[in-house]
């Protein structure tokens, strides 16, 4: 019943950026057919499987159907082109030019289906010295300034985000772009080609505050000199917490909660600009005061005074935190063979067309026979393709 009910997506993407994009669209009601090589998406082989599917693969491929077919074979090509005839979206994330050589370029697909939305995700874009290079998340972090943003504040040593932030930022950008293109098609009746790169997705994501010094050319400044001025992590007696004081009201609240009202009018911290200029001194001073308190007592005082704050949860704690349980943010269900499944609930909550996790991630080729039957292929041909290794169906 999601907002994209009735939308059919042919997804040739692999790894994370494309699959996570189509997973979001599947949660929102789209029918997603994941077209994989007969050996499967590489992510299938990157962790120990449970019931034939590992956890990372599950979390970016839930809700889809799997067709594992040899696209180099004549039959495989014919099947894919037939699927594209009535699809709404065609997605691929091969290096630029590869999909053309495979015979499934945007021009070829559009001849079959003029209204289709064709999404091409690449690492670096269609041109430039890196365009044909292999890419993984750390490479994009290196080129996008992510390692500079994360650099150790004392030593200056570059560091990376410990998650695949470039892949997932690209996935979110791609899902939004596909939705916009579908809306534009609804208005104009015209399909289009979306080109999207991981590098440009990350730069757009970082730009507002991460690249603030580059916005006005006449007022350019070295943004690295003010990097890390926001309040980050403090150690209370029993655990780490975070607390922020940006506005004057929040600063007054923090000082009152810490029983340091003498600092409210201290000229070093009396307004937002002064607190920014003297950020390091402010953080050291408030850190010393926070270290004198038990976290539960201090967080309660901060909340009472309107100071943004929270404990630093480790990943094994978060499922039981009162805010997360109150919103039912973690989705629980049982699927045959998998037992209880836990996933982060789709973040966008629609009042009339609710998102839903309709099925688990597919086993390799799990829906191949169903898809080919729907296309009108006889069982004898399906079996021949299996016997010739051109089609893989679910193996328990």
- Region 350-365 average pLDDT: 96
When pLDDT is averaged across residues 135-156 and rounded to a whole number, the result is: 93
Write the pLDDT tens digit of every residue in 242-255: 999 999 999 999 99
With b for 16 or more beta-carbon neighbours within 10 A and e for fewer, the 302-318 pattern comes to beebebbbebeeeeeee
Instruction: Give the mean pLDDT of 23-36.
Output: 98
Enumerate long-range contacts of 384-388, CB under 8 Å, 24 or more apart. Answer: 385/69, 385/75, 388/73
At 230 the pLDDT is: 59
pLDDT in the model for residue 396: 61
Contact by Cβ (8 Å): 191, 114: yes
Q: Cα separation of 121 and 196, whole Å?
A: 5
Structural domains present in the chain: 8-206+333-392 (3.40.50.10540), 234-311 (3.30.1540.10)
Does residue 112 contact residue 84 with C-beta atoms inside 8 Å? Answer: yes
Cα separation of the two ends of the chain:
30
Confidence of residue 369 (pLDDT cuts 50, 70, 90): very high
Band the pLDDT of 317: cuts 50, 70, 90.
very high
CA torsion 315→316→319→324, rounded to 10°? -40
Residue 152: predicted pLDDT: 87
Percent of the chain residues past pLDDT 90, beyond the cut: 92
The answer, yes or no, to whether residue 216 has pLDDT greater than 90, is yes
Question: Helix axis angle, 248-257 relative to 295-304, nearest 10°?
Answer: 140
pLDDT attached to residue 55:
98
Of 79, 1, 57, 41, give the one whose Cα is nearest residue 358. 1
Mean pLDDT of 214-223: 92
């Amino acid at each position: 019943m999601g907002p994209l009910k009735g939308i059919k997506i042919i997804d040739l993407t692999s790894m994370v950026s494309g699959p996570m994009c189509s997973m979001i669209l599947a949660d929102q009601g789209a029918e997603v057919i994941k077209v994989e090589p007969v050996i499967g998406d590489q992510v299938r082989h990157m962790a120990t499987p449970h019931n034939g599917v590992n956890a990372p693969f599950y979390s970016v491929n839930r809700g889809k159907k799997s067709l594992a077919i040899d696209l180099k074979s004549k039959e495989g090509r014919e099947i894919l082109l037939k699927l594209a005839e009535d699809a709404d979206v065609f997605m691929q994330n091969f290096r630029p030019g590869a999909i053309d050589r495979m015979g499934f370029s945007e021009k070829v697909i559009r001849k079959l289906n003029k209204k289709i939305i064709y999404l091409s995700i690449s690492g670096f874009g269609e041109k430039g010295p890196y365009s044909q290079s292999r890419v993984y998340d750390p490479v994009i972090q290196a080129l996008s300034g992510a390692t500079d943003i994360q650099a150790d504040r004392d030593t200056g040593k570059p560091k990376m985000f410990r998650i695949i932030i470039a892949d997932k930022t690209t996935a979110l950008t791609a899902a939004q772009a596909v939705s916009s293109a579908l809306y534009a098609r609804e208005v104009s009746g015209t399909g289009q080609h979306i080109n999207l790169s991981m590098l440009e997705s990350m730069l757009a994501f970082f730009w507002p505050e991460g690249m603030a010094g580059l916005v006005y050319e006449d007022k350019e400044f070295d943004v690295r000199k003010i990097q890390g001025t926001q309040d980050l992590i403090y150690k209370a007696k029993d655990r780490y917490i975070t607390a922020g004081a940006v506005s004057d009201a929040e600063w007054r609240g923090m000082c009152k909660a810490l029983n340091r009202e003498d600092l409210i009018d201290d000229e070093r911290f009396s307004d937002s600009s002064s607190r920014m200029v003297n950020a390091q001194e402010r953080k050291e001073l408030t850190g010393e005061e926070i270290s004198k308190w038990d976290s539960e007592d201090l967080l309660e005082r901060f909340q009472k005074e309107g100071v943004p704050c929270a404990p630093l949860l480790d990943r094994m704690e978060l499922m039981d935190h009162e805010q997360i349980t109150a919103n039912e943010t973690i989705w629980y269900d049982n699927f045959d063979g998998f037992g209880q499944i836990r996933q982060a609930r789709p973040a966008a909550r629609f009042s009339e067309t609710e998102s839903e996790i309709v099925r688990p991630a597919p086993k390799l080729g799990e829906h191949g026979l169903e898809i080919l039957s729907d296309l009108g292929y006889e069982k004898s041909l399906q079996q021949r393709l299996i016997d010739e290794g051109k089609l893989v169906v679910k193996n328990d």
